[in-house]
A and B are shown apart, each in its own frame.
Chain A
Amino acid sequence: MIKSGQSANKEFLLFLGCAIPYRVSSYEISTRKVLAKLGVKLVEMPDYNCCGLPIDPVNHEMMLSLAARNLCVAEQKKLDIVALCPGCAGTLRKVNKKLKESKELREKVNGYLKEINMEFHGTVEAKHLLQLLVEDVGLEKIRDAVTKPLTKLQVADHAGCHVSRPSKQVSFDNSEDPEVLKNLIEATGAKHVDYKDKLSCCGAPIAGVNDKIPLQLAREKLSSMRNAGAQILVTVCPFCHMMFDTNQLRIERMFTETFKIPVLHYPQLLGLALGFSSSDLALRDLRVDPSGIISPYAMEGS
């Protein structure tokens, strides 16, 4: 069940993670602009560390401790966390839930946290940006805020696995038939486009150990989107974005195909509908130039 607009004007601690400041600042820039306009206040984390996900394959307990430490920092600030990266958000949500539910696990992790004078209490929540948008702002408020509807723009979505999987632990949206990002795209006035195998992984997580499979996966998905008539792809994950935007030219060369599908972060798409200019939303940072497709909707830089 997705609750809507229950606590507008809420404050959230912004958890940036590493991939966004490293490679996709445009996601952060556009998110800050859009959330400010929608009345959400973002508070910077006083300090933070890796969410834990990248080293889960190496040492699960270190992952739990790193995630728990971030949750403890939020508990001290008495604020819920919003993460823009689904990997961070999913990890923090999962660990938060597990530590709340399992006394045994909580005691174990609190044993590690004791070394750094922290203790997990389970008093805050962690959310992904999409969840904040539908639960704390609400679709209705977003629709009302739209001043330049993106009518006729055909937009495909790729939410990223960890937004809703593993479903029992992340408990958000329907992982087999997701509707949140679709509804958010439609709220901008654009037309949502479905395509084959939409739910499958982009391949990015194994790019560090295999350089072929991720590109094959991304290529297949790009083909399906193109065949379905998508003009634009929207992501809410820095890793999906790198697979489809940063690597698109490489994929085109490797498979001698042409896609030219601009990949926008959802806040960039929403930002256009809210009347922000291309430069407000850092659209120039995208590798696949969106200017031709969005020119009927976008104001030029201010």
Chain B
Amino acid sequence: MSDAAAKPGRDEDAGKAARIGINAPIRAHELNLGFKYEISAMHDGEKLKQCFQCGTCTSDCPIARFSDTYRPRMIIRMAQLGLRDRVLSSDTLWLCAACFTCTDRCPQDVEVASVIRILRNFAVREGFMPLIFRELGSNILRIGVAYEIPELRLKKREIVGLPPLPKSDLNDMLKLANATGFSKTLKETERK
């Protein structure tokens, strides 16, 4: 798979925006002036407006070194400008490894990796989510953890004398998922 990781969105236009690419000329009608406030209102997104585009995040980003498209500075700028559809439908949004180097080194205290997490949460609501996350998410509801441990592994635990794995309370998982809107998100992305 290339950088084209995120799945197509719910409408053709958004998909088209993704294909236009992040380097295409910006059109005035694309700018959503309230977007930066929407992000700043979220937990850990408060300092988005402080970014002055120094580029420390991109120059220190281990992924940016090997990706032709992933540039955290550009994502932050798109968020500030309000290029909402373009940034939310962008495949590159899903390349952040959440190593937090950018967050640690930002001279303006912008929580870069957390802003990217906020953008991803928004993108999911718009129907953009790489397949892997649906898998991990539904595993949590089905078994309580993100990766299903194969039966063979569980038997091997017994053989080598490891204690049985603690169980998960699946009722609790469902209740938390319903309360936080996680169930709804999973259900909606399923239809996409």
Contacts and interface: CB of A to CB of B under 8 A. Distances in A.
Interface of A: 16-19, 21-22, 25, 28-29, 32, 44-50, 54-62, 65-66, 69, 105, 111-113, 115-116, 161-162, 165-168, 175-176, 197, 199-201, 203-206, 208-213, 216-217, 282
Interface in B152-192: 153, 156-157, 160, 162-163, 165-169, 171-173, 175-182, 185-186
B183 to A, nearest CB: 9
Contact of A29 (B130, B160, B177): B160
| Interface size range of chain B in the complex | 35 or more
B156 A25 contact: yes
Contact of B136 (A22, A54, A203, A204): A54
Interface string B118-147: 101100100001101100110010001111
A115 B185 contact: no
A59 B100 CA distance: 18
Contact of A56 (B67, B100, B117, B186): B117
B99 A201 contact: yes
Contacts, number: 187
B63 interface: yes
Contacts of B171: 116
B111 interface: yes
A54 B67 CA distance: 22
B131 to A, nearest CB: 8
Nearest to B93: A57
B166 A48 contact: yes
Contact of A49 (B120, B149, B173): B173
Contacts of A204: 97
B62 A200 contact: yes
A201 B97 contact: yes
Contacts of A200: 62, 99, 101
A88 to B, nearest CB: 10
A50 B67 contact: no
B47 to A, nearest CB: 12
A22 B176 contact: no
Contacts of A116: 169, 171-172, 175-176
A112 B181 CA distance: 11
B113 interface: yes
A115 B182 CA distance: 14
Contacts of B140: 49-50, 54-55, 66
A47 B168 contact: yes
Given A59-B121, A65-B176, A210 B168 contact: no
Contact of A167 (B104, B113, B146, B185): B104
B5 interface: yes
B38 interface: no
Contact of B43 (A44, A47, A105, A211): A105
Contacts of B150: 22
Given A199-B101, A203-B97, A19 B162 contact: no
Contact of A50 (B97, B121, B144): B144
With most chain B CB atoms within 10 A of its CB, the pick from A58, A105, A203, A204 is A58
Given A19-B147, A22-B148, A66-B140, 10 more contacts: A18-B145, A56-B117, A58-B133, A59-B181, A69-B176, A161-B97, A165-B104, A166-B113, A210-B2, A210-B5
Given A44-B163, A167-B104, A54 B185 contact: no
17 contacts: A25-B156, A25-B162, A45-B166, A46-B166, A47-B166, A49-B172, A54-B140, A55-B140, A59-B180, A62-B182, A161-B101, A165-B99, A176-B104, A201-B97, A209-B132, A211-B1, A217-B66
**Nearest 5 pairs between A and B by C-beta?**
A208-B132, A209-B5, A201-B99, A165-B100, A18-B145
A205 B97 contact: yes
Interface string B54-86: 000000001101110000000000000000000
Given A21-B153, A49-B172, A55-B137, A65 B94 contact: no
